[in-house]
Structures are given as structure tokens and as C-alpha cells.
Amino acid sequence: MNQFSELGLDEAILRAVRQEGYETPTPIQNKAIGPVREGRDLLGCAQTGTGKTAAFALPILHRLSQVACEVNGRGRKIRALVLAPTRELCSQIGESFQTYGRHVPLRSALVYGGVGQQPQVRALNRGVDILVATPGRLLDLMNQGHVDLSKVETLVLDEADQMLDMGFIHDLRRIVAKAPAQRQTLLFSATMPAAIRQLASSWLRDPVTVQVATESAPADNVSQSVFLVDQRHKPHLLVHWLKKTGQTRTLVFTRTKHGADKVVRHLSRSGIRAEAIHGNKSQAARERALRQFKSQHPPVLVATDIASRGLDIDQVSHVVNFDLPLVAEAYVHRIGRTGRAGASGVAVSFCDRAERAQLRAIERLTRQTLPVERDQPQYPAREQPEITRAPEPAGAAAGGRREDRPRHSAAKPAGKPAAKAFAKTGGRRRRRYSRALS
């Protein structure tokens, strides 16, 4: 089958697909749409950016529209539930359902954390056919009695391996237990570790297995290389590399949220616009950062692995692994943000001595040796702390006598006898000191 028109989808859905300019399905769509449309359970394995969302959204819309809900308002029940690990992926899946389902009488809604729940509750009360949700917020609303899954016909777990990595397994089990036993279940994942296969054997019935492309294989059109650099020099190397390299959109990955914020501060002090996106940011801040990144003059986007999957951003020219990921498969997901839609991309990694084992794991997984970059700046002899020192007293700065310098006897740590004496005061000194500070 080489055309969407040959996949047996409803004409109203095909009209929406044509309006988006799509004519030829991707391999995962070509293999998955038919079985899902027929009501089969499915276990799908494909890399990010291969069209997995349309592979389940199109046939779900087809199946639900064939028996459209005749009731309105509160009489509508959730008939399809899609679970995804991040808010951004939820938003993109929701947009896909809105786009492909614009000509069918079905309602969809989004449920995720980081924002107030009242608008989501109002949408649920109005009645929805398709619900796209993150596990945590969905379970919270279920416990409050706002969500009823008793009429779910199709359950989708998208990016299932990432949901397991993020610790959602217990939430998933509670949610699945509330769905009907007789349902269609679709499980999509970029990798197939043993934990995913175990879930598939528990929740899927006689599934069709669809796997496209080599598991965890990087794109051929992405140029990869590595800098061998001490951890303390990475911020200076990043500034040097960004100023020397021409790029349109650059995505920098760090291991931690604190690390992402720290990189943004360093880039800003160096005159480079940068924004951070991670789980500690509010949803409004994350959406604002993504809008800026998609603009004509994007800042450098510094992110944790929250951005390694599901973000559909065109023309990302460069990806920088400021910290190497702890899991080698995450490297493939990260660099998969560039080189999309046939375009070429560049991925560079900064590797400290402590990260050499992770580099070897990445090279074993990708079956290639990353070339080592030699162009590094002259690093300062000593790193300066972020908090600057207070200026020294005039006597010390002028090299004056010791007697001319102010004395700071209180700055010395109290010894054991002084500490015991302080404790015997019953806290009176502490209270007087607190009043003095206030």
C-alpha cells in the first residue's frame, strides 16, 4: 500500500489527511493502521519522528466515527484513552486528534499536570470521546471522581519505555485496572526492553507486532562527534563552540534540571540567549520557551531528557550532549531531534573522564566510533565561583597592619566548650540574635 486512500479509512478522515498535504504513509503507519482499524491489539516499535501518532490516531478516529456517540454533553463517555509521559507529547497528540478529526463528530480533551485542573475538569464534564493524559494527573482526577474509564474501548500507551523510566509503572497499573478487560490495547515504544515485553504479555491479547527500522539506530544524515573535556571546562567549551559554529536551532541536553538552569545562566552571562525547559518549570514557562525556540530568532534551548522524545520541532540543526545520558538508548533519542524530514543535522557530545564508560556504551549501541574533535579553547587556570566575594576592607587591600583590619571573631566556628555553653542558655542567645537580624 502506497497511499492513505488504500488503508480503508473513512472519507472524512482522508479529507483531513489530504488537507495536511499527506499522501504516502510512513512504514509504521503502513503496517499499523490496518490491524488497529480492525480492532487488533498491537505492539509497535519505532523510533521517534516516524509518524507513530498518526499510526494510532487515524484508525482510532475511524473506529469511533463508525459508531458515533448519539448523545450530547454529559452523556458522552471516554471511549479512547491515550497515555503519554510528558505534557508536551500530550499536547502534540491532542493537536493530531484535532487535526485529523476535524470532519468527524468526536470530542477530545487533554489532562496533564503543571496547570490548574479546573479547565480540564470542565472539559471532562462537558463530555469527551478521546482523552489524552499523563498518568499522574489522570490518576489524581480519577481519585477525585472526575474520570470514568468504564466505557473505554481503546487504550494506548505511547512511549511506554519512557513512562517506565520515569517511574509511572504503578500509576499505569492502577489506571489499566479501571479500564474494561475487554478492550483494544495499543503499546508503542521506541525500544523493547524486557520490562516492556512483560507488560505487553500482561495487557495485550494476541497482539500484532510491528517493528520498523533498526532498534536504537541513529539517523544516517546526522554527523556525530565528541569532545573529550573536563566537566569544569564544559561551560567554556559550549560558549566557544556556539560562537564559532553557525546554527539555526540548537538543543543542548543536560542530565539534571539544576544543570540545565546553570548552563542557561552561564550562556546568558556570555551574551548568548538561552532558555531552559525541564520538569520544574511551569507549563506556561515551558510553552513560552518552546514558542521562542520555534520562532525566527530562537534562543539556545537547554533541556533535560524531557525534550528527547515527542517534541515535533522542525529545523533543529544542532544537538549538544552537554552531559552524556546514563542510558545509551537516550543518546539516540536526543540526536533524533535533528536530521528530521530528510534534513542533515549535527550532534556533538562533551565527555568527561567519568563518562568514558557511557561513551563506550553509546559506541557499542550505535556500532560506530565517534570521531574526537580537537578544536578547544584556552581554558582559564582556575574556575571562578558563581557567587562573587565581598570586597576586602581597605586596610587589607592596602597591605596595612593587622591591627588596622576589622576583626571578625564571630566568624570563627565555635569549639565544643563554646557550643555547650551556648546550648545551656536555653536558646536565649538564639532568640536575641534572630530579633537583631529582623
Domain boundary among the residues 314, 333, 366 is at 366
Mean pLDDT for the stretch of residues 400-418:
44
Query: Is the distance from CB of 292 to CB of 299 less than 8 angstroms?
Result: yes
Q: Is the same domain home to 53 and 192?
A: yes
User: Between these two residues, 415 and 86, which has the higher pLDDT value?
Assistant: 86
Q: Is the same domain home to 14 and 143?
A: yes
Nine cell digits for residue 252: 543542548
> For residue 330, which of 122, 179, 185, 166 has the smallest C-alpha distance?
166
**DSSP letters spanning 42-109:** EEEE--TTSSHHHHHHHHHHHHHHHT-----GGG----EEEE-SSHHHHHHHHHHHHHHTTTSS--EE
pLDDT band of 176, cuts 50, 70, 90 = very high
Which DSSP state fits 219? P
Whether the per-residue pLDDT at 43 is higher than 90: the answer is yes
Q: Is the same domain home to 28 and 141?
A: yes
Mean pLDDT for the stretch of residues 153-177:
91
pLDDT for res 423: 47
Domain span holding position 28: 4-211
Q: What is the total count of domains within the chain?
A: 2
Assigned domain for 131 exists: yes
Indicate if the alpha-carbon torsion angle 263, 265, 269, 271 is positive or negative. Answer: positive
Amino acid of residue 375: D
Distance CA 8, CA 38 (A): 10
Give residue-wise pLDDT tens across range 276-319. 998 788 878 888 998 999 898 999 999 988 766 656 677 899 99
**What percentage of the chain has pLDDT greater than the value 90?**
55
Assigned domain for 320 exists: yes
Q: Is the same domain home to 300 and 338?
A: yes
Q: Is the same domain home to 80 and 162?
A: yes
pLDDT band of 23, cuts 50, 70, 90 = confident
Q: Is the same domain home to 103 and 169?
A: yes
Q: Is the same domain home to 204 and 242?
A: no
pLDDT for res 19: 93
pLDDT for res 122: 95
pLDDT for res 310: 58
Task: Please give the model's pTM, rounded to 2 decimal places.
Answer: 0.68
Q: Is the same domain home to 252 and 175?
A: no
Assigned domain for 257 exists: yes
Q: Is the same domain home to 37 and 173?
A: yes
Q: Is the same domain home to 151 and 42?
A: yes
pLDDT for res 285: 87
Assigned domain for 322 exists: yes
Distance CA 293, CA 432 (A): 52
Assigned domain for 400 exists: no
Assigned domain for 397 exists: no
CATH number, domain with residue 340: 3.40.50.300
Whether the per-residue pLDDT at 385 is higher than 90: the answer is no
2-to-39, 49, 101 alpha-carbon distances in Å:
22, 19, 22
Nine cell digits for residue 237: 567549551
> Looking up cell 545562566, which residue turns up?
265
Give residue-wise pLDDT tens across range 305-359. 876 665 667 789 999 999 999 888 889 888 888 877 667 889 999 999 999 999 9
Domain boundary among the residues 366, 385, 410 is at 366
Residue 275, SS3 per DSSP? strand
> For residue 32, which of 12, 13, 16, 9 has the smallest C-alpha distance?
9
Which DSSP state fits 105? S
Average pLDDT over the chain reads 83
Q: Is the same domain home to 165 and 252?
A: no
Domain boundary among the residues 163, 182, 211 is at 211
Q: 333-356 burial, b if ≥16 CB within 10 A, otherwise e?
A: bbbbbbbbeeeebbbbbbbbeebe
Amino acid of residue 155: L
Nine cell digits for residue 239: 560558549
Nine cell digits for residue 106: 468526536
Q: Is the same domain home to 207 and 239?
A: no
Assigned domain for 398 exists: no
Assigned domain for 374 exists: no
Half-sphere exposure of 39 (CA within 13 A, CB side): 6
